[in-house]
A and B are shown apart, each in its own frame.
Chain A
């Protein structure tokens, strides 16, 4: 890292070398400032760079958001307008009636209800059990902790695809659960996946131990500490886990297809995949259905956005 060729001895001497520099001294004006003019031009350069970056960001975010806009504007067009060439970027008439039309043969509310029947218990169970396990890993001492922690981390690298068939056999042959939501829900009662356990553990590790110890002195047991000290402190992490579980389940088309067979039990994901096959080229209806399915995710995200970003940051950092 310290491989710059242009270190003149006098400069290095003046600054005391990079090793002895610390934040305080830099902030206290210890940094050698060459001349006022050079400083000014530098500041100007930085300003120009910032403006350029801002413009670039606007450009990229337009690119990023444009597919969503395109899907939305397509949902408001009739099929004639949809197949115009060159295409219109903004629909001439905003046909919100398309949505009513689509709802007639795309039972969105049933699908949404079914999806929620799977998601709500799984998310709750996953979040709670992940917190329990994370707490044990972060704070408690017990036999085999290291071993199980290694197993747990190891299972992060084990794709769900690999265990799919044995689990399918287990649920359908041993427990006779076919066309049931239970095989989709029950696994989330087991900690909600190694990644989420790990995330919670990392969060708990950042809470000062003194808090626990103070509570212990006050006579609190370990469960009491978990409920009244740890949980309030890691609320944001728990919300993140809930949101991550939500998106995981939301996206898990394969398992839903495997375990659900009858159309009255379809989830949004299966419903959409069937819908496309049955409609072929009624693109405006397909786009309506797509937009409707976007909504719950976006709402959930907006509700927990602050925590979401914070928590993902944590997982990336504490590795």
Chain B
């Protein structure tokens, strides 16, 4: 991963090099220690205590976790909601951004303009986006219900019914996935032309070319995009904060939101830490699965490294 350093001469140079390096690295040292890994340990440590923000913490061992998995009325639902939302969003945004990127990759006029349009939602502030979409989803006068009516479908309470709320929020996430399009597009442009031409000579039609040339060359990019959007979407909290307050019922009470409620509304800091740490493990499992399976379906030019 790290490149071999070039030739260096003399001891003095070396020491000045590493001095500069450590100076440059100070922000990273502080960030990694104080803001990242110590808090990670602290979250686990704190989850083994009972502490509500005042007084001295008392040791309870795994009691918080036991309560979380056996008696907490919200936790299991929140895990389900988070995972379902993340899978829907990742799946939807992968398909949407791949299709758009494939279209943008053709020789057509005004590509830059189109790319800007598809990217635009990504730069809008999330809070405003959710507020705006809540009006589109409005159950009596909203745009989406008008469109549904044109197709003869009955009005839906997009954000007000527990079965529709997660797909509705996931749709917003798909709309916001402009950065994936740009990354896919870059990947497509990096597929070596020779491969396409070689396949062409071998008599492959465009579908076969897509499936046997484009897709294999794109697998590292697909992997990267799935990974990034999975991590982002598992962390979902803003729609619950901004729009649904976890409702209706608990159907959009995401894990992060539940953690926020416990920690900052009820003051149960150490219990919320148990949720945080479980959340961390869930993300670790998902990324672990993704990495473990990636070897069998990603293709790296020049072999795996």
Q: Which residues does A use to contact B, with CB under 8 Å?
A: 1-4, 6-8, 11-12, 15, 18, 21-23, 26, 31-32, 49-50, 53-54, 56-57, 60-61, 64-68, 70-71, 74, 82-87, 129, 132-133, 135-138, 140-143, 145-146, 148-149, 151-152, 155, 157-170, 187, 189-191, 197, 205, 209, 212-213, 221-223, 226, 243, 247, 250-251, 253-254, 257-258, 268-269, 272-273, 276, 283, 286-287, 289-290, 293-294, 297-298, 300-301, 305, 308-309, 312-313, 315-317, 319
In angstroms, how far is the closest chain B Cβ from the Cβ of A191? 5
Determine chain B's interface SS by DSSP, over half rule. helix
Which residues of the other chain, B, contact A162 by a CB distance below 8 angstroms? Answer: 39-40, 43, 276-277, 279-280
* B17 close to A (CB within 8 Å): yes
Q: List 13 A-B contacts (CB under 8 A).
A: A1-B299, A68-B124, A70-B135, A74-B135, A83-B140, A148-B28, A159-B280, A161-B237, A161-B255, A253-B242, A254-B256, A257-B241, A309-B182
Q: Flag the segment in B71-79, B87-95, B100-108 that touches A.
A: B100-108
From residue 286 to 301 of chain B, which have CB atoms closer than 8 A to chain A?
287, 299
Interface pairs A-B: 4 shortest CB-CB: A190-B31, A18-B198, A316-B183, A142-B21
* B133 close to A (CB within 8 Å): yes
User: Which residue of the partner chain, among B128, B238, B280, contacts A294 with CB atoms under 8 Å?
Assistant: B128
**A213-B6 contact, Cβ under 8 Å, with A21-B194, A157-B283:** yes
**A50-B107 contact, Cβ under 8 Å, with A70-B136, A149-B2:** yes
Q: A50–B136 contact, CB under 8 A?
A: no
Q: B20–A250 contact, CB under 8 A?
A: no
Which residues of the other chain, B, contact A316 by a CB distance below 8 angstroms? Answer: 182-184, 186-187, 221, 224-225
Query: B106 — nearest CB in chain A belongs to which residue?
Result: A53
Determine chain A's interface SS by DSSP, over half rule. helix
Q: Give A74 to B135 CA distance when docked, in angstroms.
A: 9
* B67 close to A (CB within 8 Å): no
Which residues of the other chain, A, contact B2 by a CB distance below 8 angstroms? Answer: 137, 145-146, 149
Query: B180 — nearest CB in chain A belongs to which residue?
Result: A316
User: Which residue of the partner chain, among B28, B141, B197, B255, contacts A197 with CB atoms under 8 Å?
Assistant: B28
Which residues of the other chain, A, contact B148 by a CB distance below 8 angstroms? Answer: none
Proximity bits, B1-19, A CB within 8 Å = 1, else 0: 1110110100000101110
User: Which residue of the partner chain, among A49, A257, A290, contacts B128 with CB atoms under 8 Å?
Assistant: A290
**A298-B269 contact, Cβ under 8 Å, with A3-B212, A71-B135:** no
Which residues of the other chain, A, contact B234 by a CB distance below 8 angstroms? Answer: 159
Q: Give A21 to B216 CA distance when docked, in angstroms.
A: 19
